[in-house]
């Protein structure tokens, strides 16, 4: 899968996407991430990428021309399945969306900044607007990193144990159950006996029960969804 990320601060994306699972995915040739500096597409002496907003008001708006120049170049080079814009007023990112996006081949992510991008770019190019939560970040780069990480890990072959993503929290509208490792007793606290029993069916049942309990207690919204679906 290929991501092209357009940003005024591509440096912000270098570290999160070059370690651990994302690095392994790239080394294995399963994931490509290309960063594009928006300023490289700006013209004029000052390579300006933002301007005052019409109608007045605090905060700058990202100018349409450099964004369009970068998008036109990319779109002329290959077919893209989605052109995503990261913005707090987008659709809230959820696991099902990540699952679907992990089946795409080429995706562009445009990172918002300042007050956002000129609305006409949204109308002309953007196919999907994504928010990673109801809070405002200083820019869309961290949201883009969240997108690439949450989608990239789902590409077949990226995770060592292929089944493990299937049991992540949210995959079946339930939170993940508690996990333990050695020692079996630590500071007087014991690992639940069932996990030491070697009895696979009982362990699966215990985990499912725990997932349901956790979801019910912590995320009534998800619990309602789970109950409707099952």
98 binds ligand ADE (CB under 6 A): no
137 binds ligand ADE (CB under 6 A): yes
Tokens representing residue 5 in the block? 């990320």
133 binds ligand ADE (CB under 6 A): yes
143 binds ligand ADE (CB under 6 A): yes
86 binds ligand ADE (CB under 6 A): yes
Selected from 33, 36, 109, 131, the binder of ligand ADE by CB under 6 A is 131
> Cα(134)–Cα(221) distance, rounded to whole angstroms?
16
CB of 44: closest distance to ligand ADE in angstroms? 26
SS (HEC) of the chain = CEEEEEECCCHHHHCCCCCHHHHHHHHCCCCEEEEEEHHHHCCCCCCCCEEECCCCCCCEEECHHHHHHHHHHHHHHCCCCEEEEEEEEEEECCHHHHHHHCCCCEEEEEECCCCCECHHHHHHHCCEEEECCCCCCCCCHHHHHHHHHHHHCCCCCCCCCCCHHHHCCCCCCCCCCCCCCCCCEECCEECCHHHHCCCHHHHHHHHHHHHHHHHHHHCHHHHHHHHHHC
Selected from 67, 132, 151, 158, the binder of ligand ADE by CB under 6 A is 132
Residue with tokens 């918002």: 112
* Number of chain positions touching ligand ADE (CB under 6 A): 12
112 binds ligand ADE (CB under 6 A): yes
CB of 97: closest distance to ligand ADE in angstroms? 13
Closest residue to ligand ADE, judged by C-beta, is 143
CB of 142: closest distance to ligand ADE in angstroms? 8
User: Is 84 within 8 Å of 126 (Cβ atoms)?
Assistant: yes
140 binds ligand ADE (CB under 6 A): yes
CB atoms within 10 A of CB 189: 8
| Nearer to ligand ADE among residue 137 and residue 148 (C-beta) | 137
210 binds ligand ADE (CB under 6 A): no
Contact track, ligand ADE, 145-174, x by CB under 6 A: ------------------------------
- Which of these ranges, 18-26, 51-59, 127-135, 216-224, lies near ligand ADE under the rule CB under 6 A? 127-135
- Applying CB under 6 A, which residues contact ligand ADE? 86-88, 112, 131-133, 135-137, 140, 143
């Amino acid at each position: 899968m290929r991501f092209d990320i357009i940003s005024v601060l591509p440096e912000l994306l270098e570290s999160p996407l070059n370690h651990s699972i994302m690095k392994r995915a790239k080394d294995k040739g399963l994931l490509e991430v290309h960063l594009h500096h928006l300023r490289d597409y700006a013209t004029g002496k000052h390579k300006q990428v933002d301007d005052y907003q019409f109608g007045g008001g605090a905060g700058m708006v990202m100018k349409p021309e450099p964004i369009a120049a970068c998008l036109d170049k990319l779109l002329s080079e290959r077919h893209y399945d989605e052109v995503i814009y990261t913005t707090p007023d987008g659709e809230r990112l959820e696991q099902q969306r990540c699952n679907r996006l992990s089946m795409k081949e080429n995706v562009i992510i445009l990172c918002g900044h300042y007050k956002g991008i000129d609305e006409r770019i949204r109308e002309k190019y953007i196919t999907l607007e994504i928010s990673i939560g109801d809070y405002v970040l200083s820019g869309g780069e961290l949201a883009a990193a969240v997108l690439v990480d949450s989608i990239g890990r789902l590409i077949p072959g990226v995770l060592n144990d292929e089944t493990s993503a299937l049991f992540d929290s949210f995959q079946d509208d339930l939170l993940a159950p508690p996990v333990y490792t050695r020692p079996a007793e630590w500071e007087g606290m014991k690992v639940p006996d069932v996990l030491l029993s070697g009895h696979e069916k009982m362990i699966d049942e215990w985990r499912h029960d725990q997932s349901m309990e956790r979801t019910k207690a912590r995320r009534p919204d998800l619990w309602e969804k789970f109950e409707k679906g099952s």
